[in-house]
Amino acid sequence: MGCGGMYNCDNPANIRYESVTEGAQLLQRFVADRQIKAGDELTINYSGKRGTAFSEGNRWFEGRRIVPIFSTQQGSQGSGPRDAGNTA
């Protein structure tokens, strides 16, 4: 899994991932989706299709019947688990 399992979820996230092939290896590359300031937490969107940083809803959590723990981090504007106004 590499470092990908260490990133928390946010919607929209500040990094996205993409699958790339190098020779016979299939790899995941993590790419900044917007400007990231020093000290900001790196986040991915668990619900983003094919690694996108934004998604409608939180299907990754909903499909597993998980209620995310909310926190306010760096002024998240999304509808993701870090949005303190979202309780589903």
Every domain of the chain and the residues it spans:
2-63
| pTM greater than 0.75 | no
Q: Give the closest residue to 83 by CA, choosing from 45, 32, 42.
A: 45
Dihedral (Cα; 18, 22, 25, 30), 10-degree rounding = -30
Which pLDDT score is estimated for 2? 65
Distance separating alpha carbons of residues 16 and 43, to the nearest angstrom: 8
Radius of gyration of the chain (CA): 13
pLDDT at 87: 42
Pairing assessment for the beta strands 15-22 and 8-9 based on DSSP bridges: unpaired
Q: List 32's β-bridge partners, or say none.
A: 15
Question: Mean pLDDT over residues 6-18, rounded?
Answer: 88
Q: How far apart (Å, rounded) are the C-alpha atoms in residues 28 and 60? A: 19
Identify the band that residue 15 occupies on the pLDDT scale cut at 50, 70 and 90.
very high
CA 35 to chain centre: 15
Average pLDDT over residues 24-38: 93
What are 32-88's pLDDT values in tens digits? Answer: 999 999 999 999 888 888 888 888 877 777 788 887 665 445 444 444 444 434 444
